[in-house]
Amino acid sequence: MAGLPALSPAMLSTAILLATLVLFASERVRHDLVALIALFASIVAGLVKPGEAFAGFSDPAVLAVAGVLVVGRAVELSGAASWIAKVAIPAKVSFPFRLAGLLVIAALLSAFMNNIAALVVTMPIATEIARDARRPAATTLMPLAFATILGGMTTLIGTPANLILSSVREQELGEPFGFFTMTPVGVAVTLAGLIYLGMVGWRLLPIRGRAARQTRPPWRVFEMAVPADGDMPAAATLRAAGARVLAAFRSTERIAVDQAQHSGDRLLVLSRSSPWDVAQAVNLEAVAQRNETDDAVTARVAVAHGSPLIGAGYDEVRTRSQEQLEVVAVGPRVARERKPLIRIRIRAGDQLYLRGRKDAIAHFIAGARLLEIDRLDPMPVNRRRAAAIVAVFAVAIIGIVAFRLSPALAFVGAAAVLAGARLIPPDDIYRSIDWSVIILLGAMIPVGQSFEHSGAAGLAALWLSGVLAAQPFFLVLVALCCVTLLLSIFLNNVATAIIMGPMAIAVARLLGVDPDAALLAVLIGASSDFLTPIGHQNNLLVMGPGGYRFTDYARMGAPLVVIVVVIAAAVLAFSG
C-alpha cells in the first residue's frame, strides 16, 4: 500500500498559519504563547532552522519597539502629556466641541506615544467631559479609544505594526520607511475619522434607558463580615439597602448563605453603594477600612495592559503604596467567579476602587499603569524633568528624520539616556516594556518569513493578484486594506503585519503597481479594527467603564471602517 504523499513546505506553512489563526481567534491561549507554539511547529516541520529560531528577537524592529515603549512611558510618567491634554481643551464650550478637542489631542499623543499610554492620560478627561455635560461616559470613551488608534497610523512609531512593516520594506525593497512616510495617508484618514467621531459617531451609540439610569453609581463587589452577635440580616433587608449576596465563606471555604451565622463569616456582596453605606443600613461589618483623613477619596480605576499589578492579589496595592492605599471594592467581573477576594488575581481590564489621599492615588496610578475612570486631581508636573524627557524624545525623532538613524538605534539610545539621567524610575525601565508583545514579535517574525520562503505567500499572492488583475488601482488598494482588516479581527495587528506585508509587496509586483502604496494599505488595515472589542487593547479597556455591548463597536465602527478604507485607498491611488 502506497504511503501518503508528503506535504509540500507551502502546505505545511499554510497549515501552521491556519492553526495559529484558530488559536489566536479562540482567545483561550495567550497570544505570545501562540506565537511560540507556531515557532516550534515551524521548527519541527523543517520550515525554520533551529539555529535561526530566535533570530527574530534581534530584528531591529523588536529593539525599536522596546525603546519606544520605554521612552513613551517616561513621557507618560512626566505628566507632560496629561497637562497638555487638560490645558488644550477649553472648559467653557459645548459638549461636541470639547469632545472634538479631546479626540484631536488623543490622536496627536498616540502618534508619538504608545496607544495605551495616550488612552491612560486622556480617559479621565473623557469621563469628566461626559459628566459635565450630564451624559453617560459611553458617549466619550469609545470615540476616544478609536481616536487613539487612528493617531497611531500617522508616524513610524505610532504602533509596533508600523515598525514591523518598515522592517519588511527594508528586507524586500532595500530601505525602511521614513519617520513620516505614512503621515500623508495617516493624517488624511485620521482627520476624516475624527470629523466622523466628533460629529456623528458618538450619536450612534445607544443610550440604554434614561440618562439618569446611565449616570447612577456603577456596580461594585466587596466583602462584608458577620458581626460578633452572629445575626445575619434577612434577604429583604439587604435588597432594601441595594445589596445582593453573591456567596458566603468561612475562612476561604464556600458555605451556603443561610449558614453564615458565625462571627467572622464573610459575604461577597454586589451593590451600587459603598461598603460603609451598606454596613450602616444592615447588621454587617465592612471588611474594607475606611480612611477618614480629610483628603481621603475613593477613585475608580481600570487596570491597563502592562500594569505591574496584573497577576497579583488586591493586597499588592497596599504593599506597593506603602500602606497608603487600599482596594475597598472591585468591579463586577469578580461577581461571576464568586470566590473570596483574597483568592482573586488582578487581570487587565479589571476595575478597582482605591481609597486614600488624593496625592497618593495620583502618584500610584501613574506608576501602576491604571486608567482613571473617575476624575482625580492630576499629578503635578515637574517642568524641568518633563522638558528634559521631551527634549530627549525630540532628539531621537530628529536623529531618525534628519540623520537617517535607525529607529532601533535612536530609541534604544534615548531609553539609555533617560535611564542614565534617572529621568525614568529604575523600576519602570523594564516594567514599561510589554514583554508579551516582544515575545510575539520575536517568535512570529521567523514564522512569517517561513510562510514567505516556503512559497505559501507567493501562492496566496498569485491567487489574490489573479482576482484583482482587471481591477483599478483604487480597488486593489481597497481589497488589500480590507483583507488585512479582516485578518486583524482574529490576529494581533503585529502578527497581521508580519503575514500581510510580504504578501502585499508580492501582489504589487505581480500587478505591476507601486509596492509602497500596497504596503501602506496594509499599514492602515492592520490598525483599523473598529468592529469588535477584541481587535485592539484600547477597545477592550473601555468596554467595561463604558458599559458597551459587543455589537456597539460595529454600530459606531462600521461607518468608520468604510471611511478609513475609502480615504486611504483614494489618497494612495492618487499619490501613486
- pLDDT tens per residue across span 449-462: 898 889 888 889 99
pTM for this predicted structure: 0.80
Check if the beta carbon of residue 389 is closer than 8 Å to that of residue 427: no
pLDDT, mean of residues 213-226:
77
pLDDT, mean of residues 293-299:
73
Burial class (CB in 10 A: 0-12, 13-18, 19+), 525: buried
pLDDT digits (tens, 9 = 90+) for 47-58: 999 999 999 998
Distance CA 547, CA 539 (A): 12
pLDDT, mean of residues 245-255:
88
Distance CA 526, CA 521 (A): 9
Distance CA 241, CA 224 (A): 13
In Å, what is the CA distance from 481 to each residue of 140, 415, 560? 27, 34, 14
Helical packing angle, 60-78 and 407-420, nearest 10°: 40
Distance CA 415, CA 535 (A): 29
pLDDT, mean of residues 76-90:
81
At residue 211 the predicted structure's pLDDT band, cuts being 50, 70 and 90, is very low
Predicted local confidence at residue 259, as pLDDT: 81
In DSSP terms, which residues pair with 372 in a beta bridge?
301
pLDDT, mean of residues 239-246:
85
In three-state secondary structure terms, 373 is coil
Residue 365's closest CA among 342, 356, 402?
356
pLDDT digits (tens, 9 = 90+) for 181-206: 999 999 999 999 999 999 999 999 88
Q: Residue 210 above 70 pLDDT?
A: no
Instruction: Report long-range pairs for 252-261 (Cβ below 8 Å, ≥24 apart).
Output: 252/340, 252/342, 252/343, 254/338, 254/339, 258/232, 260/226, 260/232, 261/226, 261/230, 261/232
In three-state secondary structure terms, 550 is helix
pLDDT, mean of residues 233-252:
83
pLDDT digits (tens, 9 = 90+) for 468-486: 988 999 999 999 999 999 8
Q: By mean pLDDT, which of 262-271, 282-291, 426-435, 475-484 is the weakest?
A: 282-291
Q: Residue 59 above 60 pLDDT?
A: yes
Higher-confidence residue of 528 and 293: namely: 528
